[in-house]
Chain A
């Protein structure tokens, strides 16, 4: 009887460790190939011809058309700068500068489907060429259901969301480009 209890314990520990670690590696890959800059995360080798096994598994699981390394780089934020889950009932200010790139886009999306969560018939995203900027080039963006100043993107619905920042034609993370620590912060202002 004791043998069976020990065997069951071992199987539970093995399955929990094996599948739990795999789930963690592909969802929060900080220890396994993803880079984290403030609230933003990116898989560094997602667009190179020979990615490491963790990145390869991430690509297979996401099912997305990942950007090639020459095309650009995509960052995803699921939490704000204070490590709270992004929530559609809150107003967020995205504040700061971005690394040099030919252009960039910022899209609020539903976590499970990847669909933009903006108001139907409204703009779906921010585009770097169509923003009002401060004299130093920095931007102040607002994502919320309620009216906000400056550059505002109106979102709809309830529940969590992700922010997807895509830099096109950038040398970020290549080791030769600008400091990627210039990614903007995501500040939660008020919640309904």
Chain B
């Protein structure tokens, strides 16, 4: 009986190890990450406005039906990233995601004095060049430092009414997204 108990105890300890391994490996092995789902939507270049959420249509990214979304993927190996444009007078927010779906940076327009979005994305080496003033950037640029090169920027915009959605989506589509010249 004691021997059986020891085997069960060993099973519990091994189970604890399996649990820790599963939790730590899941982000690397998961096939359902937001990055992969966005990749499946189309080419990586430029700004992409996501289709509005509809009743009974799959919503794998769990988007809010009230909001309009623009997504832009940036590869910092090609140079510092940038997202620039003017947005309507309404709630908007920006979030920068890493490949594993975690949020690296986020902000809203609550404290913004204008409706201009001017975001610059820099990896560690580019941040160093920026600090040494070897990179020429515009004044007022919102600087975000990232540890990884593959980034995804999501701009959320809240149209006050459904009738204004098309115009707000046009404003999102007009956002310029890409790499700064180095």
Contact = CB atoms under 8 A, between A and B. Distances in A.
Interface magnitude class on chain B: 35 or more
Contact of A115 (B3, B36, B55): B55
Secondary structure class of chain A's binding surface, majority of residues: mixed
26 contacts: A6-B4, A10-B8, A12-B11, A13-B11, A13-B12, A14-B12, A15-B18, A17-B14, A18-B16, A18-B17, A19-B19, A25-B19, A49-B105, A50-B102, A51-B102, A57-B26, A59-B27, A60-B101, A62-B62, A66-B101, A68-B105, A71-B107, A115-B56, A116-B56, A116-B59, A116-B65
Interface residues of A, number: 65
B104 interface: yes
B30 A115 contact: no
Interface in B1-57: 3-4, 7-8, 10-12, 14-19, 21-24, 26-27, 30, 32-34, 36-37, 53-57
B103 A48 contact: yes
Contact of A64 (B3, B16, B19, B62): B62
Nearest to B62: A64
Interface in A5-52: 6-7, 9-22, 25, 46-51
Nearest to B58: A113
